[in-house]
Amino acid sequence: MMGRRITYREALREALREALQTDPRVFLMGEDVGRYGGTYAVSKGLLDEFGPARIRDTPLSELGFVGAGIGAALGGMRPIVEVMTVNFSLLALDPIINTAALLRHMSGGQFSVPLVVRMATGAGRQVAAQHSHSFEGWYAHIPGIRIVAPATVEDARGMLAAALADPDPVLLFEHAQLYNMEGMLSDGGAVDIRSASVRRAGADVSLITYGGSLPKAMQAAETLAVAGISAEVIDLRVLRPLDDATIMASVRKCRRAVIVDEGWRSGSLAAEIMARISEQAFFDLDAPPARVCSEEVPIPYASHLEEAALPQPAKIVAAVQAVMGRR
């Protein structure tokens, strides 16, 4: 199949443009999405193309404009709400968790909230603790919302349409380190928001990860291959609901697992995955599962400290070698 080289940012912009062109109910709202072109330049040019009624700059009030997005969704629109960074989404926890996630249940199925919330997540850019954390694992704890984390240009291009088609709220977490990443985008091909994906086949250990940690896991797998260790890399893609079938199939084949998660270890998504592996595939394991997470500190500003606080390929390699009994 033919393809073209494109950045993650450009793939997201193409997805937004297609959604706006295809469905008149779709509009984008958030801080700096219009005249400024988006904090990460994802919506650059869309204001001139679609006008201020559909590309709406909002005040600096996540609580207010996420709530407005919920109201628009209930009113029959298909809003895409951009929150500048995941840290700022904490100001909108009440409308997301107490309203959007609950209305289908509390109305006995009479109402749904077809809302899409996009936000940047993750560290590695020296923007200090209030702009660098990874809270997607928190949101994955909440019934009633779907959590997706596109880690490739194809997922960045294709997941938005699937999210807009979902009758319930979908939160898209875009790792800020990926915006400049380039990749091949195939012509055509549907993208779902249900399944994990095997990004690299292997036989000795399952590396289970998502989002901005996927390139690091792939790099670690290359290093491990040189040492004679065959790592299978699983991109979760969807953090709620987790695709247990793909995870367990890989673990049962490889018999060892290392989970890479930029969240903190305590109460992490990695801990949930380890628990599920222990519940469903305990007797298939040749070693206890291991995890590589961020250090239990606010993400530092200083570059060398930030790097030290985050999962890195060398840490992943060391964790794999440990579960393989090589150190």
Encode pLDDT of 108-123 as tens digits. 999 999 999 999 999 9
DSSP annotation of 130: G
Could you state, in order of their start, the residue ranges of all structural domains in the chain?
A: 3-186, 197-323
Predicted TM-score (pTM) of this structure: 0.95
Count of residues making up the chain: 327
* N-term to C-term CA, the chain: 43
Specify the amino acid at residue 83. Answer: V
Q: Give the model's confidence band at 3: pLDDT under 50 very low, under 70 low, under 90 confident, else very high.
A: confident
Whole-number Å distance between alpha carbons of 64 and 120: 19
> Does position 156 have pLDDT exceeding 90, yes or no?
yes
Whole-number Å distance between alpha carbons of 119 and 170: 11
Query: What pLDDT does 189 receive?
Result: 67
Query: What pLDDT does 139 receive?
Result: 98
Whole-number Å distance between alpha carbons of 235 and 282: 21
In CATH terms, are 3-186 and 197-323 the same topology?
yes
Cα 106 to the chain's mean position, in Å?
27
Diameter over CA atoms, the chain = 60
Q: What is the CATH number of domain 197-323?
A: 3.40.50.920
Torsion of CA 116, 122, 124, 127, to 10 degrees: 80
Query: What pLDDT does 188 receive?
Result: 66
Instruction: Say if CB 116 and CB 170 are below 8 A apart.
Output: yes
Query: Token pair for residue 138?
Result: 């928190």
Active site positions, annotated: 62, 131
Over the chain, what is the mean pLDDT? 96
For domain 3-186, is the CATH number 3.30.365.10?
no
Query: What pLDDT does 187 receive?
Result: 73
Q: Give the model's confidence band at 154: pLDDT under 50 very low, under 70 low, under 90 confident, else very high.
A: very high
Question: Among candidates 191, 279, 283, which has minimal Cα distance to 238?
Answer: 191
Encode pLDDT of 279-315 as tens digits. 999 999 999 999 999 999 999 999 999 999 999 999 9
Question: Among candidates 239, 271, 227, 234, which has minimal Cα distance to 250?
Answer: 234
Encode pLDDT of 73-83 as tens digits. 999 999 999 99
